[in-house]
Structure 1
Amino acid sequence: MGKSDATLNFPNPSRTYDMSRHCVCFWGYDNSREITFLVDDTMLAKLNSDLDSSEPALLAAFDRNRDRILGLARELYKGGAQNRYMIS
């Protein structure tokens, strides 16, 4: 049996924009393991039709959609050795 998505928590509200990857990065935790999640600009634009491409706008779009994005991260997360997931 695989790990339950209930083991994935997001106690740290930090997020950052990675200009080289064109994504917002945030972190979840499965017990003591840190899991990196990346949400690309395209996904943020899908969630916000009036989005401009500036860093402040992309971070604000992430913040407005945080609950939905965390839900997508929980669905995507499978446990195991992988420690980075792209949401696109």
Structure 2
Amino acid sequence: MKKRTELLSFPNPSRSYDSARHCVCFWGYDNSREISFSVDDVTLAKLNPDMGMGEIALLAAFDRSRERILGLAKHLYTGGPQNRYVIHE
């Protein structure tokens, strides 16, 4: 049997900035089940110390750190009924 993290994939490169929650949101899939992830601006700043402010800067910081963030998401993911995860570095 595969580990849950091996079942989690990120085929959709879409991401969006949520100004109310100060985070970038993205989605993974466990088979056909969509799992929501978010990474807050504080974590993005830790990963990208020279990042600017605002939506464009945060999305660019996410893009620069995408592989690391996806690794953190896979590590955080446990499967089961939960379908929303927040990444904190």
Relative to the length of structure 2, the TM-score reads: 0.94
Corresponding residue SS for 2:80: coil
Q: Number of residue pairs matched?
A: 88
> Which residue in the other structure is 2:55 paired with?
55
> Which residue in the other structure is 2:22 paired with?
22
Note the aligned Cα RMSD (angstroms). Answer: 1.4
Letter in 1 for 2:47: L
Alignment partner of 1:76 is 2:76:
yes
Q: CA offset at residue 4 of structure 1?
A: 2.2
Corresponding residue SS for 2:37: strand
Query: Contact conserved, 1:8 with 1:31, CA < 8 A, in 2?
Result: yes
Query: Contact conserved, 2:52 with 2:58, CA < 8 A, in 1?
Result: yes
> Which residue in the other structure is 2:7 paired with?
7
CA 1:2–1:11: 2 relative to 1, 3 Å: closer
Structure 1 residue ranges, 4+ long, deviating more than 6 angstroms after superposition = none
Relative to the length of structure 1, the TM-score reads: 0.95
Letter in 1 for 2:49: S
Q: CA offset at residue 3 of structure 1?
A: 4.7
Query: Contact conserved, 2:4 with 2:77, CA < 8 A, in 1?
Result: no
Query: Contact conserved, 1:3 with 1:78, CA < 8 A, in 2?
Result: no
> Aligned partners of 1:37 and 1:3: how far apart in 2?
19
Identity of aligned residues (%): 69
> Aligned partners of 2:87 and 2:2: how far apart in 1?
20
Query: Contact conserved, 1:3 with 1:79, CA < 8 A, in 2?
Result: no
